[in-house]
Amino acid sequence: MAANKEEFLTYKGKPLVRSGNTIYYGDLAEKCVIMMQVLSTKTVNGKEIADRVSVQLLSTDEELRMKDRILKKSEKNGLYSALDVGAVWLERSL
């Protein structure tokens, strides 16, 4: 019997998981992940795209309070800018 493994969208070899307006980038088994929250959207050619995005580098240490888990924080215009900054932060922290 084959194991039923869920496939995730990846970026630079790390999983991207979306839950509503929140996108997590990275592996929870590692020491840090990126959390991106879409704060506002705009309509371009009839489609809604992310306008302002909050980016946070979070520690995955469950013993820390949520407030203490935030290692870096920024706000970017557009999902691409947010993901680009998040990928650099994550790479440097790991």
On the 0-12 / 13-18 / 19+ scale of CB atoms within 10 A, 17 is: middle
If pLDDT is split at 50, 70 and 90, which confidence band does 5 have?
Answer: low
Q: Virtual CA dihedral for 59, 10, 89, 39, nearest 10 degrees? A: -80
For the cut 70, the answer to whether the pLDDT of residue 1 exceeds it is no
Amino acid at the residue 49: I
Q: Which helix (H) or strand (E) holds 29?
A: none
Which residue has tokens 């869920």?
Answer: 6
The 10s digit of each residue's pLDDT in 30-80 is 999 999 999 999 999 999 999 999 999 999 999 999 999 999 999 999 999
